[in-house]
């Protein structure tokens, strides 16, 4: 990790002053308060899940709502919210979403051994909150994607410390709440951690089967939700889907060809992710970039695929910025995020009906940048590590204190 006092990464890992923390707290508090004032049931997406739980408690089938796309286990998990007054949910859910996003960022920092008192700890979360539009959208929607935003870095943090079984359990619980992290089973397959992989599969499977017995329509997910995901043409969902299979047909590409292109891109992404897993570099960086490649590949082919899904991978990649071999050192990584800058007016793309085109560009460019880096850029990681190690030793010889001085006492990975 580059930590010289004269370079940008070294500046990022040094402690932040109290003013930095005050600014971050003000931004998160303002976002949370605004959401509390303008949403009901904690947000539209959270409301869908809570309404499904209310339907179940009233004796109906949650799968009568075509927009409820979760496993039966999520119905049971949402039941406590269904028992709370709407006025309580209005306040509770936005606060919990912001806390979960913050906790996910903390886990990503710990994964990369970045000090929690550092400037990167403040600026990274601040940048996501004010510079990446899907962050605020996720808070306003109250979408359960936030469970994956927290679970993925927590899983990788555990895996980096050799606790693979616990990591598998974390992913299993997250999939039981929302199937978004199901592609992470491939990471455990790459690592040949069979016990952990078994938990990834068994936890959501067993919990969903048990929960299904308490539903009036135990097979509703199989008979209604899965056919809807694979064959339905929902006009409302299609407006916001960012995947190639949804966007390309809107540009005149035949549906079959668009789907084939999406599958091919996803396959290439998985192959590149495996290449990154087998490549050089610190374990934390390999875990983060391999996982990002797997998830982005899934987002390319999955239906639906929304822009706030990107928050599952961005904190992991941003927290690895101090590493010389990180994908964040590539300009295309940052160019991919430009369409998501809040406050920028994009001609002909501002309406809700066309927002998906911007999201499509971000998803495809980011997936391409991560895949390219996995194949070509990671070759330089080992050499960069050797160079920066020599730089640290030289700095220490000059009395600069090397890594410990730059990080306020943090242990070098």
DSSP string, 271-282: HHHHHHHTSSS-
In a domain, residue 1? The reply is no
What's phi and psi for 178, nearest 5 deg? -155, 130
Question: CA end-to-end span of the chain, whole Å?
Answer: 8
In a domain, residue 166? The reply is yes
- C-alpha 148/C-alpha 220 separation (Å) is 24
Q: What is the domain count for the chain?
A: 1
In a domain, residue 375? The reply is yes
Q: How confident is the model at residue 387, as a pLDDT?
A: 36
Region label for 132, one of left (φ > 0), alpha (ψ between -120 and 50) or beta (otherwise): beta
In a domain, residue 356? The reply is yes
Q: How confident is the model at residue 355, as a pLDDT?
A: 81
**Residue in 324, 322, 320 with CA at minimum distance from that of residue 287:** 320
Neighbours of 243 (CB within 10 A): 27
Dihedral sign for Cα atoms in the order 7, 10, 12, 17: negative
In a domain, residue 364? The reply is yes
Q: How confident is the model at residue 407, as a pLDDT?
A: 36
- C-alpha 223/C-alpha 234 separation (Å) is 17
Region label for 42, one of left (φ > 0), alpha (ψ between -120 and 50) or beta (otherwise): left
- Are 3 and 389 in contact, with CB atoms under 8 Å apart? no
In a domain, residue 160? The reply is yes
In a domain, residue 2? The reply is no
Domain that holds residue 264: 8-407
- Are 291 and 167 in contact, with CB atoms under 8 Å apart? no
In a domain, residue 269? The reply is yes
Q: Which two tokens stand for residue 332?
A: 């295309």
- C-alpha 169/C-alpha 184 separation (Å) is 12
- C-alpha 73/C-alpha 58 separation (Å) is 17
Q: How confident is the model at residue 239, as a pLDDT?
A: 78
Q: How confident is the model at residue 381, as a pLDDT?
A: 56
Collect all residues with Cβ–Cβ distance below 8 Å to 83 and sequence separation of at least 6: 57
Q: Which two tokens stand for residue 170?
A: 């974390």
- Are 326 and 320 in contact, with CB atoms under 8 Å apart? yes
**Residue in 296, 341, 292 with CA at minimum distance from that of residue 315:** 292
Q: Rg of the Cα trace of the chain?
A: 22
Mean pLDDT by 10 residues, the chain (413 residues): 58 89 95 92 89 92 86 94 92 96 97 93 95 94 95 97 96 96 96 96 95 89 79 70 90 92 96 93 93 97 90 96 89 94 79 81 96 79 44 36 38 40
- C-alpha 13/C-alpha 124 separation (Å) is 11
Q: How confident is the model at residue 383, as a pLDDT?
A: 43
Q: Quick check: helix, strand or coil at residue 15?
A: strand
- C-alpha 51/C-alpha 219 separation (Å) is 19
Neighbours of 84 (CB within 10 A): 14
Q: How confident is the model at residue 84, as a pLDDT?
A: 92
Neighbours of 40 (CB within 10 A): 14
For 67, counting Cβ atoms within 10 Å of its Cβ (0-12 exposed, 13-18 middle, 19+ buried), the class is: middle
Region label for 304, one of left (φ > 0), alpha (ψ between -120 and 50) or beta (otherwise): beta
C-alpha distances out from residue 17 to 105, 175, 319, 328, Å: 19, 38, 19, 25
Largest alpha-carbon pair distance within the chain?
73
The residue behind tokens 């797997």 is: 294
Dihedral sign for Cα atoms in the order 215, 220, 226, 231: negative
Region label for 30, one of left (φ > 0), alpha (ψ between -120 and 50) or beta (otherwise): alpha
The Cβ-side half-sphere exposure at 289, using a 13 Å CA radius, reads 35
Q: Running DSSP on this structure, what letter comes out for residue 221?
A: I
The residue behind tokens 């993925």 is: 152
Helices (H), 278-400: 283-301, 314-319, 331-337, 355-375, 381-397
């Amino acid at each position: 990790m580059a930590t010289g006092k004269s370079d940008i990464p070294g500046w990022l890992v040094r402690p932040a002053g109290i003013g930095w923390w005050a600014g971050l707290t003000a931004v998160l508090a303002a976002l949370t308060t605004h959401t509390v004032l303008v949403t009901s049931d904690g947000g539209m997406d959270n409301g869908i899940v809570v309404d499904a739980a209310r339907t179940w408690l009233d004796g109906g089938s949650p799968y009568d709502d075509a927009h409820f796309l979760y496993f039966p286990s999520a119905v049971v998990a949402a039941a406590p919210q269904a028992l709370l007054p709407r006025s309580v949910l209005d306040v509770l859910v936005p606060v919990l979403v912001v806390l979960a996003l913050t906790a996910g960022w903390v886990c990503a920092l710990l994964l990369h051994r970045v000090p929690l008192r550092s400037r990167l700890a403040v600026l990274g979360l601040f940048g996501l909150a004010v510079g990446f539009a899907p962050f605020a959208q996720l808070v306003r929607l109250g979408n359960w994607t936030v469970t994956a935003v927290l679970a993925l870095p927590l899983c990788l943090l555990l895996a980096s410390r050799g606790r693979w079984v616990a990591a598998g359990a974390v992913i299993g619980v997250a999939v039981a709440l929302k199937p978004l992290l199901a592609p992470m089973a491939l990471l455990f397959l790459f690592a040949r951690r069979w016990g952990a992989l078994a938990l990834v599969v068994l936890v959501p499977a067993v919990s969903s089967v048990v929960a299904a017995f308490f539903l009036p329509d135990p097979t509703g997910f199989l008979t209604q939700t899965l056919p809807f995901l694979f064959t339905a043409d929902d006009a409302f969902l299609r407006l916001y889907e960012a995947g190639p299979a949804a966007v390309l047909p809107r540009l005149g590409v035949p549906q079959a060809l668009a789907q084939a292109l999406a599958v091919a891109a996803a396959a290439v992404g998985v192959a590149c992710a495996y290449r990154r897993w087998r490549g050089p570099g610190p374990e934390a960086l390999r875990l983060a970039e391999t996982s990002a490649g797997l998830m982005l590949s899934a987002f390319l082919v999955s239906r639906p695929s929304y822009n706030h899904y990107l928050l599952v991978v961005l904190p992991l990649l941003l927290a690895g910025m101090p590493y010389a071999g990180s994908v964040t050192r590539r300009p295309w990584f940052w160019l991919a995020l430009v369409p998501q800058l809040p406050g920028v007016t994009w001609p002909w793309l501002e309406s809700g009906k066309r927002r998906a085109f911007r999201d499509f560009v971000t998803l495809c460019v980011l997936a391409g940048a991560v895949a390219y880096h996995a194949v070509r850029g990671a070759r330089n990681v080992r050499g960069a590590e050797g160079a920066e190690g020599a730089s640290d030793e030289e700095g220490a010889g000059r009395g600069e204190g090397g890594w410990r001085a730059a990080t306020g006492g943090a242990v070098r990975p």
